[in-house]
Amino acid sequence: MGTRRSFITGLLATGLTPNPTWADAGGAAYISAGMKPDGSYVLCGLRSDGSIAFELPLPARGHAAAAHPILPEAVAFARRPGTYAIVLDCSNGSAKAQLTAPAGRHFYGHGTFALGGELLFTTENDYGKARGVVGVWSVRRGYTRVGEFWSGGTGPHDIKLMPDGETLVVANGGIETHPETGRTKLNIPTMRPNLSYLSLDGSILGQVFLANDLRKNSIRHLAVSTDGQVAFAMQWQGDLTGDQPLLGVQRSLSQHPHLFEEASVREMHGYLGSIAINSSMNQIAVTSPRSGVVQIFGKDGLHARSNLADVCGVAAIGNGFFATTGTGLARAAEFGDINHDLAWDNHLIAI
Question: Which domains does the chain carry?
Answer: 19-236+248-268 (2.130.10.10)
Output the pLDDT for position 18.
43
Whether the pLDDT of residue 6 is over 90: the answer is no
Report phi then psi at 7, rounded to 5: -65, -45
pLDDT of residue 10: 47
pLDDT tens digits, 13-54:
444 444 566 555 568 999 999 999 999 999 999 999 999 999
Nearest alpha carbon to residue 183 among 89, 106, 116: 106
Mean pLDDT of the 126-148 span: 97
What pLDDT is attached to residue 24?
A: 59
Q: Answer whether 0.85 is exceeded by the pTM.
A: yes
Q: CA-CA distance, 271 to 23, in Å (whole number)?
A: 37
pLDDT at residue 4, as a whole number:
42
pLDDT of residue 1 exceeding 50, the answer is no
For residue 149, how many C-alpha atoms fall within 13 Å in the half-sphere facing its CB?
Answer: 18
Residues 133-143: tens digit of each pLDDT:
999 999 999 99
Q: Which residue type is seen at 183?
A: R
pLDDT confidence bin for 253, thresholds 50/70/90: confident
